[in-house]
Amino acid sequence: MSERAFGWRDGLAPLAALLGGAGTLVCCALPALMVSLGMGAAVAGLVTAVPQITLLSEHKPWVFGVSGVLIAAAALLQWRARGLPCPADARQAAACRRLRAASWVILGLAATSWTIGFFFAFLAAWV
């Protein structure tokens, strides 16, 4: 196993996964949820204000595929980095532990948002 310390670069993968998960929410999950709750006019206003949302919605298999790969890659990187040593300095070691914990939380949020988005984009119509 590598003796490299866990650093700020190791937090980039969970952050990219979170952004991918947020993209799935914006493109598909939130508009579907709003329409199902009777807020169709709000969705129409959102699409009028930000018409690029329809571009994401037209390509939702790609959006979900890419974001799913990002989340899976982040999970793999997080799992591989779980045993890396933190610095010997007490202050840096505490920061390292906080960064690791925050990375797992961010990864969990990304996976949750992706799952919710996947449900509303592909499965909710059949339920």
How far apart are alpha carbons 16 and 103 in whole angstroms?
11
| Of residues 32, 35, 28, the one with CA closest to residue 53 | 28
Flag whether pLDDT at 104 surpasses 70.
yes
* Confidence at residue 5, expressed as pLDDT on a 0 to 100 scale: 56
Residue 103: is it exposed, middle or buried by C-beta count within 10 angstroms (0-12/13-18/19+)?
A: buried
59 or 36, which is more confident:
59
| pTM to 2 decimal places | 0.75
Tell me the domain boundaries of the chain.
8-126
Contact call for residues 25 and 116 (beta carbons, < 8 A): yes
The pLDDT assigned to 10 comes to 62
Read off the tokens for 84. 């890396």
